[in-house]
Amino acid sequence: MPGTPSGSEDILSLVRVDRFPHLWCAGCGHGIVLGALVRAIVDRRLDPASLVVVAGIGCAARAAGYLKLDGVHATHGRAIAFATGIKLARPELKVIVITGDGDLAAIGGNHFIHAARRNIGLTVVCFNNSIYGMTSGQYSPMTPRAARATTAPYGHIEKPFDLCELAAACGATYVARGGAYNPARLTGYIASGLDHRGFAFIEAVSQCPTYFGRRNRLARGIDLLKWQKEAALPLERAASLSPEEREGRFTVGVFRDVDEPEYTEAYDGVIALAGKKGAEAGP
Ligand SMILES: Cc1ncc(C[n+]2csc(CCOP(=O)(O)OP(=O)(O)O)c2C)c(N)n1
């Protein structure tokens, strides 16, 4: 039953423990986010045979390889494109996309905005560690202004995206942000995303002590988790604060949750109509 506390046996049945030790560095947040995803699947008692996981390239994307589910480890930035094809061919499946902030918002940005606009039924979980972890710490579209990165040794001069505002503005119908600092809340957001029939986007703030933390005086995973906990601002509270008071913080909560026509359902309608027209026209 949804909401029932789940046993570790259910959780382990979804994890390829034989592939451990995993490749993530000590203190990395990606394992916590993966744990939240697994708990959400168990919580909703989803049949593993009804799930497909699609990942791009990066430390985040490697999470898909630790799941005992059918899946595709796709090319960099193209997870949503592969997932769109799978969903169109097999709309009855739940298609989960695992992606990093670079994979999703840099090279994959075009796929992201258009999938959100189409409201196609995918559950996209972005592990946002504000950096390209896998390739040794280049800045990403999510690196905060003034933060240091391998490619911004004097401080980053660009303003990052707000991925949740972007997803919602493009048309995503479920949008939420949580973080590794609060795995229970994050699990709830992912579970709601899995329940949702349209495009669900969950941003999971994660941490990279190795490349982001060390360059920004937050060298240990615990330092970054403490920073997340202090910087997280519930949406309801954020509304009453000035831009100055919100500076350096990030909002958490559910940004959007609405029911709108889902793409593959609408596409089925086109197939039915085309079949009828074809039959009327005769051979
Ligand atoms: C076409 C292409 N360009 C660049 C790369 C190199 N590359 C691999 S992973 C990656 C960035 C991954 O960053 P992110 O998605 O934020 O994930 P993280 O490793 O931080 O979890 C890049 C640029 C690649 N594999 N393919």
Q: Is there an atom of ligand 1 within 6 Å of 34 CB?
A: no
Q: Is there an atom of ligand 1 within 6 Å of 40 CB?
A: no
Question: Which pTM does this prediction carry?
Answer: 0.96
* Chain segment 210-250, per-residue pLDDT in tens: 999 999 999 999 999 999 999 999 999 999 999 999 999 99
Residue 2 placed within a domain = no
> Long-range contacts: 161-166, Cβ < 8 Å, 24+?
161/105, 163/101, 163/104, 163/105, 163/126, 163/128, 163/201, 163/203, 164/201, 164/203, 164/251, 164/255, 165/255, 166/105, 166/112, 166/113
Q: What is the mean pLDDT of residues 11-30?
A: 97
Residue 123 placed within a domain = yes
| pLDDT on residue 5 | 45
* Chain segment 141-165, per-residue pLDDT in tens: 999 999 999 999 999 999 999 999 9
Give the CATH number, domain containing residue 13. Answer: 3.40.50.970
| pLDDT on residue 4 | 44
Among 68-72, 177-181, 273-277, the least confident range? 273-277
Residue 3 placed within a domain = no
Give Dmax (Cα) for the chain. 72
The range of the structural domain enclosing residue 206 comes to: 8-281
Q: Is there an atom of ligand 1 within 6 Å of 131 CB?
A: yes
| pLDDT on residue 212 | 98
Angle at 55 between CA 178 and CA 224, to 5 degrees: 35
Predicted confidence (pLDDT) at residue 29 exceeds the cutoff of 60 = yes
d(CA 261, CA 209): 41
Report whether 173 contacts 198 (CB < 8 A).
yes
Q: How many domains does the chain have?
A: 1
Q: How far is the CA of 225 from the centre of ligand 1 (A)?
A: 23
Residue 1 placed within a domain = no
- Radius of gyration of the chain from Cα atoms? 19
Q: Is there an atom of ligand 1 within 6 Å of 60 CB?
A: yes
Say what the alpha-carbon torsion angle 236, 242, 244, 247 is, to the nearest 10 degrees. 20
Predicted confidence (pLDDT) at residue 3 exceeds the cutoff of 50 = no
Residue 175 placed within a domain = yes
What ligand 1 atom has the least distance to the C-alpha of 134? 19
Q: How far is the CA of 214 from the centre of ligand 1 (A)?
A: 19
Of all protein residues, whose CA lies closest to atom 25 belonging to ligand 1? 76
